[in-house]
Amino acid sequence: MAKVTVNGIEVEVDPSYTILKAAEKAGISIPTFCYHPRMDPAGSCRICAVELEDSKRVVMSCVTPVADGMRVLTESPKIHDARKTNLELLLLHHPLDCPVCDCGGECPLQNMSFAYGATESRFESHRNDEAEDLKSDVLVFNANRCILCGKCVRICDEIQDVHAIGFINRGFDTIIGPPLGKKLDCEFCGDCLEVCPTGAITDHFVRYKFRPWQLEQHQTTCTYCASGCQMQVETENESIVRVTSKEGLGPNEGSICVVGRFGFNHVQTPQRFDTPYMRVEHRLVPSSWDEVLPELASRLNAIRRKGTDRVAGLLSSRVSLEDAYAFQTFFRRVLRSNMIDTGARYGFMNAAIPLVEATGTLRPLVDHEDLLKAKVILLVGADPVAESNITGLFLKRAARKNRAKLYVVDSEAITLSTRASDHIRIHPGGESLFVGVLSEEISSRGNLSAEWLTRKEELFKNWNVDPGVFQRLVNDLKSAETGIVVTGRKMFRNENASRSMINMMRLIGSLGWIEKEGCGILPIPETANDLGVLMMGATHEWLPGLLDARNESSRKQWENAWGTSLSYGPGGGLEQILQGIEEGRINALITIGENPIGHFPPGSRVREILGKLELIVALDMFQNELVDMAHFVLPASSSFERAGHFVSIEGFVQKSVSTMAHWGESLPDWEILEKISYAMGNPMGFDSSEKLMAEIVRFLPDLSPSTRNGEHFVGGTGDIHLVKPLDSCGFANASDVKGVGGLSLLKASGSTPHKANRESVSSRFRSWTEMSRPIMNATSGIPGEGEFIFSMSKSLFHSGKMTLQDPNLKKIQPEGKLRINRQTARKRKIKKGEKITLTSAHGRCSFVVEPSPMVSEFELVFPEHFADAQVLALFPPEMAFSPMTGTPTTHRIRVSLSTETIS
């Protein structure tokens, strides 16, 4: 330890500290432009100058390491002069166009010039007069305002690992921009925009539309993916102007992805429903809550009287815990139905059921911090950068800065492949086989049966994978101190996903990673609250707290908790719902932000099946196929307009606050359900989202809001406040009431309340994994001669179909393009932007092509967000569901390619 005296305050710090960090510890702040806590220091702005008392020298505090006995002055006449001179030099070229600069008012350079009185320069020079670079659709580069601190270049390089911008030219002519004067083409995370200390980088979407002092800031949680980023939604007159982040705050530590930063405008577009609609004589007519509710209630009551399980419900997994809890209460308690399902069924359920079976919890074993400590990371069937951007950032950091061995197993090259120590390129859909072989290899301790050995050799030959790389992976996994398996969407949407997940559990079980701290599996949920809605029991399998819904004793537990008797039927998921509707056992369907028609090929008759329903109620924000059929369309509030809690990929329960007024007459989903139940004469009794959350926490104390550092980020205007204690919400002290399903969520230890309790997981784990055996005859994903595998991916620039309504994100990615291997395209003489036609056994569809070096030569990849009925027509009309998890199983299809276009 080194003793340093800063302005007379003595602090003891690690010798690796810089003076700046030591001063920070002493509670003294030193002005900086180019320093960024998450990046290596650059020492380019020369503003953080401090004086060493003994040698009387002026040094840069951000790059100078401390020495024992060092005495530092951060404010002295000498330092004042040094900083002022520096500012004058910086202002030589900087145009004083603050009044029209978007940064004016929140500009560190402006503040510093003001503080040091350096508004006029003693030096003579010309002001830069470069024209602004307006080429990009997202960012505007103004070279005149740039002070060349290099923060943007460094954050793009060190944190985002994208390398999209750099220094161009040298000396006085240096500017920042994308290479070769081209249009910026990157992940558009906007981190450079966030860190820029001047107005050199601004964005097109809010350009000149605001001034910082007009805005009101709301600290909230992003609700697109499960990363659980903390962001600041800035509003003016109840409408959202922009989204920013605060350095170091939340799991994202100040970075947010393109969707979080720019995808806020769809909630304030005129297409949104602003009033309830009712179908009168085959036409949806605008109505009011007072008219709609009694009519809807009487029709629901009539159907409810027919018996149990008469009404089915589909819930989007983007809703908050409160909504999910109200949803299942409404169905189980009010409608006596267990025919409920969530959007997680389309994919994440394949991970959730094996996870709950194997570990008893959906709380993750590892979090982002563990990724940084891991020595080996195996990434199978996931593209974390697109699916959960912040997890992607942590993986980049782990592989790049912490030198973790990253093995990527994927059919196409993903962003992280460049940082991988090895990329095992399997064939499309081969994830399940790979995991099968790997788990068999590891659990048999290298003594593979002859049958498996031949299968393995055959596979690797087919895939053209070097067995040596596989052996290296096996050895690394076995010898790793700490290791983590990360998996995601591609895995969940594999034909044998649930079996593969079991194999993965078996794999980490036989590696001994269940017992070992810092090891485990990290499945990336597909949407913001996949984990939360499942924990809230919004599927037919589980009651809140992941208790078995068909188990008599767990039903009793909740009956006691709620003080009512529950008389729902056996229920069912998506498959049973569609079946039940077709057979006439289900008469009504209530959907919340879900549109089953959009998920199945047009030939699958989902539309016809749903047409048999007596009553369809759609709670949605935008028009879609289901809304066109619905008898009642109720306007739902977006997550920007209401408060709610979300469970992040790391298991944190974080609050998203209301940042703008409800759009028109829209209401939160829970409130709509409450109003319907009230009109039905059987009110659930939820009168505010706070009380609703208080009830959840009272019964399931594990779900109390949690964050990494213990404090809770709750809205307000920019500040972080501690969450109100729950007992002030009208309930008895939460700790007095015994939790109901708490046990099955497996309460974690005090220090890591978000993670699963390793002891209880491991005690349960061993007994279960024995029953799993990998499947040998799964498809290896090799298409025939001249054929391709058509598959759908998640785009980085969209989240579900909702963001297709967003003007900002639509500008960034306006249409879905079919990505094809570059060599294949060249061979077939297909050029970028051309139209080609794909033909499968079931249909044909034409696409605009985009050759890409990332895609494998066997695959054609299309972003799922743009998959409309025409695209889905390629898939077989028969609906196939996984027997174990009830998820729809067709996600890939063999297609042939032709350059002719369909008329």
Partner 1 sequence: MTLKSLVKSVLFTEIMQGLKLTFTHMFKKKITVQYPHQKLELADGYRGFIVHRRYENGQERCVGCDLCEAICPAKAIRVVGDIHPEFPERRFAKEYTLDFTRCIFCGFCVVACPVNALSMTKEYAHSSFTREGLIYSKDQLLTLGDKCESESIAYLKVRNMWGAEDSGKDEGRYHFPPISATQSGG
* Consecutive H or E run containing 54: none
Nearer to partner 1, 134 or 722 (CB): 134
| Residues in contact with 62: Cβ distance below 8 Å, sequence separation at least 6, in sequence order | 18, 19, 20, 32, 34, 35, 41, 42, 43, 48
* Consecutive H or E run containing 902: none
Q: How far is the CB of 119 from partner 1 (least distance, A)?
A: 8
CA angle 770, 517, 353 (to 5 degrees): 40
Distance (Å, whole) CA 707 – CA 434:
36
Q: Are strands 175-177 and 201-203 parallel, antiparallel or unpaired?
A: unpaired
What's the 3-state SS for 534-547?
Answer: HHCCCCCCEECCCE
Contact predicate 507/769, CB 8 Å: no
Compute, in degrees rounded to 10, the torsion defined by CA atoms 383, 385, 388, 389.
180
What single string gives the DSSP state of each residue in 551-600? -HHHHHHHHHHHTS-----S---HHHHHHHHHTTS--EEEEES--GGGGS
Nearer to partner 1, 135 or 373 (CB): 135
Nearer to partner 1, 131 or 450 (CB): 131
Distance (Å, whole) CA 440 – CA 436:
6
Q: How far is the CB of 137 from partner 1 (least distance, A)?
A: 13
Nearer to partner 1, 124 or 736 (CB): 124
Q: How far is the CB of 117 from partner 1 (least distance, A)?
A: 15
Nearer to partner 1, 105 or 569 (CB): 105
Nearer to partner 1, 100 or 450 (CB): 100
β partners of residue 181: none
Contact predicate 227/388, CB 8 Å: yes
Q: How far is the CB of 186 from partner 1 (least distance, A)?
A: 22
Distance (Å, whole) CA 408 – CA 441:
18
Backbone angle region of 617, left / alpha / beta, with phi > 0 → left and psi within -120 to 50 → alpha: beta
Nearer to partner 1, 143 or 696 (CB): 143
Distance (Å, whole) CA 263 – CA 627:
23
What single string gives the DSSP state of each residue in 257-288? -HHHHHTTGGGGSTTS--S-EEEETTEEEE--
Q: How far is the CB of 256 from partner 1 (least distance, A)?
A: 24
Q: How far is the CB of 194 from partner 1 (least distance, A)?
A: 21
Nearer to partner 1, 142 or 496 (CB): 142
Q: How far is the CB of 84 from partner 1 (least distance, A)?
A: 19
Instruction: Determine how many CB atoms are found less than 10 A away from the CB of residue 111.
Output: 13
Nearer to partner 1, 97 or 185 (CB): 97
Q: How far is the CB of 144 from partner 1 (least distance, A)?
A: 10
Q: How far is the CB of 174 from partner 1 (least distance, A)?
A: 20
Q: How far is the CB of 165 from partner 1 (least distance, A)?
A: 20
What are the φ and ψ backbone dihedral angles of 116, each rounded to 5 degrees?
-100, 5
At 208, which amino acid appears? Y
Nearer to partner 1, 199 or 580 (CB): 199
Nearer to partner 1, 215 or 226 (CB): 215
DSSP designation for 636: B
Nearer to partner 1, 211 or 764 (CB): 211
Q: How far is the CB of 234 from partner 1 (least distance, A)?
A: 15
Structure-token match 């990998």, residue found: 774
Instruction: Catalog residues that contact partner 1 under the rule CB under 8 A.
Output: 95-97, 99-100, 104-105, 127, 129, 131-132, 134, 207-211, 213-214
The strand ranges marked E within 99-197 are 139-141, 166-168, 175-177
Q: How far is the CB of 177 from partner 1 (least distance, A)?
A: 16
Show the tokens assigned to 808: 């900002």
